Amino acid sequence: MNSVFDLVWVVIGLPLAGFLLHAFFGKRLGKKAVGTVGTAVVLGAFALSVYLLAELLKLPADQQKVTSTLWRWIEAGSFRVAFEALVDPLSLLMALIVTGVGGLIHLYSTGYMAEDEDYPRFFTYMNLFIVFMLTLVLSNNLLMMFVGWEGVGLCSYLLIGFWYKEKVNTDSANKAFIVNRIGDWGFTLAVLLAFWTFGTLSFAGEGNMFQKAVEMKQAGLLSPGVITAIALLLFVGATGKSAQFPLYMWLPDAMAGPTPVSALIHAATMVTAGVVMVTRCHVLFELAPVAMLVVAVIGVFTAIFAATIALAQTDIKRVLAYSTVSQLGYMFLGCGVGAFASGMFHVTTHAFFKALLFLGSGSVILALHHEQDMRRMGGLAKYLPITYWTMLAGWLAIAGIPPLAGFFSKDEILSAAFGTHVLPVSIGQILWAVGLVTALLTAFYMTRLMGLTFWGEPRWAEAHAHHGKDDAHGHSGQPRESPPSMTVPLMILAVLSVVGGFIGGFAPLHIPNRFGRFLEPSAGLQVLGEEAVGHLPVSTEWLLVWASVLAAVLGLWFGWARYRAGLPESERELSGIRKVLYHQYYYDWLMVKGIGLWLGGKIAFWMWQFVDGRLIDGFVNGIAGLTGWVGNSLRRVQTGYVRNYAFTILIGAMILLIWLLVRGASAGLAR
């Protein structure tokens, strides 16, 4: 198996080498070396992925699934799992996103974290994250994917709690990890159930899981209950990792980590792992229409739910966090209506503009000395020009204004929802309507963000003034634009946000959907067939397009009207409905304090007292007591009287003799 695709292990190996180098020698190498190596390995992996993509595209479409085995991992009876990579359009797409956007973020971090003492540790964790994320997307079986899945969860924990000396950061890290774990419980059950049903966990190659599923369905051996259960449990895992309702509450708190972390992990890559997993397993979902419906409904509900909460947030990163949750909902909506490729397209464009928005906000935060409350920003357009113009691109992209990237991907999903035959048509239309409203809200709150941050009068003067002219950092009183290490990635991402959408094509104008065709081998509807996605007549398509654009423009206009002058008076303090939205309809409070602490506390207490104390301790002590009692009873046999012993021996010998003879007689001892 010496094909060129074995180089895929080098793609994972480069960041791994970076991780090891930084872990052992980081402190000694100094900041410049660590930053350079850390970024270089990721960009090197990106270059290699590009090369592999070129090689893959040379193959005919139905052969674009190449596997490469590193070693045989588990072989226990019929349970065989190997460390196998799958090189196909989906995995390479994600590898490119992870290493490309990731590489840009590493470059950005060399500027953002420049003053931090724990600089080497940061790059150690970041490189490790890239390793695990690549393992997740490049894996060829559910178990290896789970290794990557858990690994990125670990790195997320390490990076959220990076500034561990503040308790709120470690609490957020714990919350992220624990909520994730709940999702992982679902994932684990799904893996077990899948193995029990199919006997294999691999995605491609001889006798893979999807092949088996289709065969079983055709032979009538696959019960709908089982496959729906598997799909739903997988989705539970996706809910945890991709912050959908009801397991989304860790993501806003995860903003406690440094901004590059928020950009990389909680916008572009890790949170999209759920979408990637669902797309990867799309065959299983296609076989379980109920699960598809659940995915779509939860996706669109989360989208609008998070969008309403974003309206009332005051922390710039939190607005973006809820925006991420909302956009992830869109991606799941796309998957749920059968448009897996469209979902992945939105993953791609979202990676561009959301990373851009986060990095831009990081630039703002740094310029204002770690100020994150938007009520104390304003009027920054003229002080941070590069940041401002790049964020403008990101803002228009996410709002869905053509011809930027966000418009294409969002519109594709909405059209797919409207015209889908996977779900009943009326449901599809309802989903479309909700999605449309969400698009309006998205445009509105993003405009709010831009308004509060960049337009109107500066409100940071008072807060800024008490830093003084010559404070410890040597900053002057004015916010200054960020260094090139930070602005170059912003510019690159802005360009991508503007032009990146065209590869998705545009049906009304007959621009071909190259992205969809590219992803066909991985995400094409195998079971339900192409007709299920639905092809709308061109006139309907135009109608939907205009509706999307109208929603975006309306949202923009309302936002501009309200926020162009900066912060309105009514928003200085939290009150009324704004307060409810701010507190996430008190869902987080309910989950954490109510169920988590109170109910969990009661259960923990009971477990300790009863299960651990009485059952388990009782059992163990009981065994010891039983042993003692038996020993105590048996010792009375040792009487010391030799004749008794002889008597016992005699009886035993007689029994033995008779038994032997009886056995011999029945076996025919005839001589």
Partner 1 sequence: MFVQILFGLMAIVIVVTSIGVVAVRNPVRSALNLVANFFALAVLYLLLYAQFVAAVQIIVYAGAIMVLFLFTIMLLNLGSPAELSERGEIKRPITWGLALLFVIVLAGGVFSRLSEAQPAQDDIGTVQMVGKFLFTDWVYPFELTSILLLIAIVGAIVMAKRRL
Partner 2 sequence: MDAVPISWYLTLSAFMFAMGVTGVVIKRNPIVIFMCIELMLNAANLAFLAFARQQAQLGAQVAGQVYAILVMAVAAAEVAIGLGIIVAIYRLRDTINVDEMNLLKF
Q: Which positions touch partner 1 (CB under 8 A)?
A: 643, 647, 650-651, 654, 657-658, 661, 665, 669-671
**Taking the complex as a whole, how short is the minimal distance between the CB of residue 630 and partner 2, in angstroms?**
14
Report the number of secondary-structure helices (H) and strands (E) in the chain. Answer: 27, 2
**Taking the complex as a whole, how short is the minimal distance between the CB of residue 654 and partner 1, in angstroms?**
5
Q: Which does 658 bind (CB under 5 to 8 A by kind): partner 1, partner 2, none?
A: partner 1
Name the helix (H) or strand (E) containing 425: helix 425-454
Dihedral Cα 388, 393, 397, 403, nearest 10 deg: 150
Per-residue contact track with partner 2, 610 to 649, x per CB under 8 A?
-------------------------xx-xxxxxx--xx--
Q: Which does 657 bind (CB under 5 to 8 A by kind): partner 2, partner 1, none?
A: partner 1
**Taking the complex as a whole, how short is the minimal distance between the CB of residue 649 and partner 2, in angstroms?**
9
Between 509 and 646, whose beta carbon lies closer to partner 2?
A: 646
CA–CA separation, 179 vs 160, rounded Å? 14
Q: Which does 671 bind (CB under 5 to 8 A by kind): partner 2, partner 1, none?
A: partner 1
Between 667 and 670, whose beta carbon lies closer to partner 1?
A: 670
Chain centroid offset of residue 490 CA = 23
Quick one: 40 exposed, middle or buried, by C-beta within 10 A (0-12, 13-18, 19+)? middle
**Taking the complex as a whole, how short is the minimal distance between the CB of residue 669 and partner 1, in angstroms?**
7
**Taking the complex as a whole, how short is the minimal distance between the CB of residue 80 and partner 1, in angstroms?**
57
Residue 294 CB partners (closer than 8 Å, separation 6+): 232, 235, 336
Residue 612 CB partners (closer than 8 Å, separation 6+): none
Residue 441's alpha-carbon distances to 307, 327, 374, in angstroms, are: 6, 12, 19
Q: Which does 607 bind (CB under 5 to 8 A by kind): partner 1, partner 2, none?
A: none
| Bridge partners, 139 (sequence order) | 85
Q: Does 660 bind partner 2 (CB under 8 A)?
A: no
Between 630 and 650, whose beta carbon lies closer to partner 2?
A: 650
Residue 581 CB partners (closer than 8 Å, separation 6+): 308, 309, 311, 312
Per the CB < 8 A criterion, the answer to whether 103 and 11 are in contact is: no
Between 382 and 671, whose beta carbon lies closer to partner 1?
A: 671
CA–CA separation, 65 vs 520, rounded Å? 11
**Taking the complex as a whole, how short is the minimal distance between the CB of residue 647 and partner 2, in angstroms?**
5
Quick one: 655 exposed, middle or buried, by C-beta within 10 A (0-12, 13-18, 19+)? exposed
Between 164 and 645, whose beta carbon lies closer to partner 1?
A: 645
Task: Name the nearest CA neighbour of 66 among 201, 200, 204, 202.
Answer: 204
**Taking the complex as a whole, how short is the minimal distance between the CB of residue 624 and partner 2, in angstroms?**
20
**Taking the complex as a whole, how short is the minimal distance between the CB of residue 622 and partner 1, in angstroms?**
37
Between 466 and 635, whose beta carbon lies closer to partner 2?
A: 635
Q: Which does 665 bind (CB under 5 to 8 A by kind): partner 1, partner 2, none?
A: partner 1
Between 574 and 655, whose beta carbon lies closer to partner 1?
A: 655
The residues binding partner 2 (CB under 8 A) are 635-636, 638-643, 646-647, 650
